[in-house]
Every structure is written in structure tokens, then in C-alpha cells.
Structure 1
Amino acid sequence: MPAQLDFALNHMATPRLNCREFLDLAASLGCIGVELRNDLADKRLTDAAFFDGEAPEAIGAYARSNGLRLLGLSEVYGFNAWSDAMRARVQLLIDQAGRAGAELISLIPRNDAPQYGEGEREEALRRSLGEILPMLDKAGLIALIEPLGFTSSSLRLKADAVAAIEAVGGKARYRLVHDTFHHHLAGEKEFFPEYTGIVHISGVVDPVLTVEEMRDGHRILVDGRDRLGNVEQIRGLLSLGYGGPLSFEPFSPDIHALDNPAEALRNSMDFIRDGLA
């Protein structure tokens, strides 16, 4: 294990905090960086606009003044259903990332159980990645692809994402999100450390849920009850050479309602450190 784990926070961990409060929290916990989200209002977790209505430059500068990297901006949902409207959404997030000084943007596949004919799923993914690639080249930016392990997902496996990236010659501009929750749901065994740009951490502890019943709302902070094997997944990635950020992304309303999220996050960090020691 490295001497120090590079923990980070996704704004989903504490959506009740505004951007500056969230950045202050991450800095107080010794995080290396953060991920900001444009979908918190859509999910009815805040009434605030993206960047709290401030200029992206101002929030990016505030992050750096706290010693934090602005690791990424999330998200463009349904990127693998290409259209002119999707191009505009991708370009908007790229532009916002450039203004804020973010290192990455996140691309999320359709999760509405789309029906594909023979080869259509792979063709749709390759087309979207091929269309986005020159946009990333022009901006000098990296895009994260996050396979979703739900059975309704149009892209469940990281292996399929890697195959599409290589098919469009996109290795310089695309990376994967290794999400411990979705990795478990998909039943995928292979890790892709050389393609992994960030790891998303959350745990599920409900003992009666089947894997098929697990949903975002069950995702809490990782502790000794975890059923997803977070420590084992992280150990595996580290042993294969991954050295990037480990970003907390709990979706559970119980976590969002915590009066003292700093203590809970610190306890989870300690648990992971101890488990890897």
C-alpha cells in the first residue's frame, strides 16, 4: 500500500453543502481534490444552480486556494445516445471544465434498459466516443466513462468500454471510473488500472438485499459491514499499480442528512486505511 492514500470527495457525499462549504470540508479532511456535480438540483438534493450560480473560474480558484485539485465535473448522462443536443451538452461541460480548471469530465451511459439490435449497442458507444474525441483533443481534456452495473444499463462492463476506446483510438483522452458499487453489481472480475482515472467508493450494508435489488439509495460510507468488498477492490487496484484518487460517493439519504459528515467521512477513511495496512 502507498504511504498515503489519495482520498477525494464527490459532491454527492454532502449535497446539502454549497460549493465553498464542500471545498472547505474536503480540505479539512486532507483530501487531494473534489468532484463537482451539475445534477444535484435535478435529483432534488439542492436548490442551487451549478457552481451555486458563481462563475466556474471563481469556484476553481477557491478550490486551488484550499490546496485542492478540481478533479472533475459530472456529468453528461446518456452520452452513448448521440444527437446534436448531446453534442451541445458535452461541449457545455467541456467549456465549464476549462473555465474552472477541472481535470476531467464524466460521461454516463443510458440506464433505461434500451433495446438494441445485433451490434447496435457497441456501434452506438463507438460512435459517441468517436464524436467526442476531437472535442476533447481541442480542449486538452480527459473524459471519464462510468459503466453502470445495473441490469438496465446500456454499458455494464469496463471491458466493453475499453474495447470501444481502443476501437476509436481514444486511449489518450478516455479513462474509466472504477466504481466499487457498480463493479460489484456487474460481477466483473477484471481490473483495468492503466485505464482507471478515478475510483468511486461507497458501501452497501443491508444484509437482506440481493445484488439485483441494490440501488443508489442503499450506498453509504464504507465500514466493517460492507458487502461490496471495497477494501479488497482497492487493494487489488493498488497492487496492480493504480495510484489515483479514491473519491467518496455515497448516495444514501441517511448520509446526506448527517449533522457531522466530517466525522463520518474521517471514520470511513480510517477504516479503509486500517483495512489496507
Structure 2
Amino acid sequence: MVAPQLPLPAFFSLARSLGISSVEIRNDLPGLPILDGTPPAAVRAFAEEAGVAILSINALQKFNHWSPERAAEAEALADYAAACGAGALVLVAANDGTGLDRSERVANATQALAGLSPILSARRLTGLIECLGFAACSLSLKSEAVAAIAAANGQGAFRLVHDTFHHRLAGEAQLFPQETGLIHISGVDDPAVAFTDMRDSHRVLVGPRDRLDNLGQIAALRAAGCRALLSLEPFAEELRTLADPAKAIGQSIDFVSDALEERAA
């Protein structure tokens, strides 16, 4: 999402030009792999030519609404992930206002993880569970995901995504650093929008005006021993028309890196 206007080879080259050796790709961008039908072998070749590793594919949507159709979708996406060289598949909880009852939330996720475990393990993939902080999400707290992992005996197969935007919106205090396998970062600069009204369209690159306390969240995770990689996940439309995306992305990376070094000093 940091530069979806770029063809995939150009995106991989952009990453390398910024000194980044691991990237996350998506399956929901029209006109780009995976939706455009590009075979996974081609994606693997693009990545190898650029010298980058594909960390994960983002994402299997509504993973916790398990059904034969969802299982088939998971198998197809897991096949693609394995064939293109990805190491993980992000699993996003349903965000459509269904499955919200407290009695359903962990039970539905547990059923899904039990079904996903053999699919992912057969392809040597890790499942990265992403909880969304929106009120309409059926799995908004990472504590619920941790409970589902335990109930499904999936400690070896699944890890958490700590998304700084969704963590702030969910209002969850616990960080679960040891269970975290990936950190999504994005900022919200708009001073007028209330936290309850924040949406993906408000998410920009992390900078000095960020209201989500990205630096505090990342620093706390690091201090607790979490070494998960950071993946930039801004969605704001203004980022799609940048004349020089490399400059903006590089500035954000430098801001985060320098600020974290200052905190650790």
C-alpha cells in the first residue's frame, strides 16, 4: 500500500533503493499481481532479480468466517504464497458487523485457525492474524486472537500482526510482544478527526505530526523483546500521486529510525 501505483518490479526496485530487503505484497490491488493473473513464478523471479524477500501476502479476508468456500480460498492463496516465495499469509478478521457477539468471537476464530493450520503447515507458511480496531470488526482485540490460537493448539503456526493504527483504535493495553510476528505502521496527522471516526483514508506515512503514538508503540514492543519487522501500511489517496514516492517513504523511514535511536540512547 505504500506505492500501489508502481508495477511490482518497480516496487521491488524501490525497496532495494531504500535499503530494504524484505517486502509485503497484497492480493487486492486492481491491475497488479495477484489480481491481474500474474503467475507466482513471475512474482518470485521479480523479487529474486531485485534481491528482496517476500515476507508475506496481505491478506486472506474474513478468515474467521470459516466455510468450505473460505477453505478453498485459503488453499488457493496459500498455494500462491508458497509458489512466489512468501513466508507468511496475513489473516484479516471480518469487518462487516457480523460475528460480533462475545460468545462468537473467539469460537469463530478458533474454528478457522483449526481449519487453516494444516493448509498453512503443508506449505510451510506462518499465519499472521490481524485484528482490526473498528467497531464493526469481529476480532478487534489481540487478546481474543491469542485465546483462539491457544484453543486451536496453533502456537507454532500463528503469530499476531501488531497494527499501530488498529491497536490505538481498539484501545487495548496489552502488546503481546512475544506473540507478534509483524508490525504494520501508519500515522494519522489530521488534527480534526476523532479517534472513533478514523478510517483507512486517514492513514499516512509516519511523521512528526502522528497522533497514534507509533514511536511509543514500537519502542515498547522493542523494549519487551519483539524483533518483528515493520511494514509501512498507509492508505491515504494522496500518497498514490506522489511525484517522488521514494523521497517520502525514505523520509518516513528515517524519521522513525532516528526517533527510535534517540529514545534508546
Q: TM-score, normalised by structure 1?
A: 0.91
1:198-252 Cα distance to aligned partner (Å, 9 max, x none): 1111000111111110000000011110000011111011111111211111000
Change (3 A) 1:113 1:131: same
Residues 1:184 and 2:168 aligned together: yes
**Which sections of structure 2, spanning at least 5 residues, go unmatched?**
none
Indicate the residue corresponding to 2:188 in structure 1: 204
Residues 1:39 and 2:28 aligned together: yes
1:131-180 Cα distance to aligned partner (Å, 9 max, x none): 11111222221011100000111011111101110111101110111111
SS at match of 2:178: coil
Distance in 2, matches of 1:77 and 1:197, equals 18
- % identity of equivalent residues: 43
- In the TM superposition, residue 54 of structure 1 has moved relative to its aligned partner by 2.9
Q: Is the 8 A contact 1:19 1:51 kept in 2?
A: no
For structure 1, which segment, 147-156 or 107-116, has the greater mean C-alpha deviation from structure 2 after superposition? 107-116
Q: Is the 8 A contact 1:51 1:59 kept in 2?
A: no
Query: What one-letter code is carried by the residue in structure 2 that aligns with 1:19?
Result: L
**Structure of greater relative contact order (alpha carbons < 8 Å, 6+ residues apart):** 1
Distance in 1, matches of 2:35 and 2:67, equals 26
Indicate the residue corresponding to 1:26 in structure 2: 15
Q: Is the 8 A contact 1:219 1:250 kept in 2?
A: yes
**Which sections of structure 1, spanning at least 5 residues, go unmatched?**
1-11, 42-46
1:79-122 Cα distance to aligned partner (Å, 9 max, x none): 11111110011001110011111000111111011155561222
- In the TM superposition, residue 125 of structure 1 has moved relative to its aligned partner by 1.0
Distance in 2, matches of 1:215 and 1:221, equals 14
- In the TM superposition, residue 29 of structure 1 has moved relative to its aligned partner by 0.6
Aligned length: 261
Distance in 1, matches of 2:137 and 2:218, equals 24
Q: Is the 8 A contact 1:148 1:156 kept in 2?
A: yes
Equivalent residues in 2 for 1:126-145 (5 A)?
A: 126-145=110-129
SS at match of 2:74: helix
SS at match of 1:125: helix
Change (3 A) 1:196 1:69: same
CA RMSD across the alignment = 1.3
Change (3 A) 1:61 1:28: same
Residues 1:101 and 2:101 aligned together: no
Indicate the residue corresponding to 2:56 in structure 1: 72
Q: TM-score, normalised by structure 2?
A: 0.95
- In the TM superposition, residue 66 of structure 1 has moved relative to its aligned partner by 2.3
Distance in 2, matches of 1:233 and 1:117, equals 29
Query: What one-letter code is carried by the residue in structure 1 that aligns with 2:187?
Result: G
Change (3 A) 1:118 1:13: closer
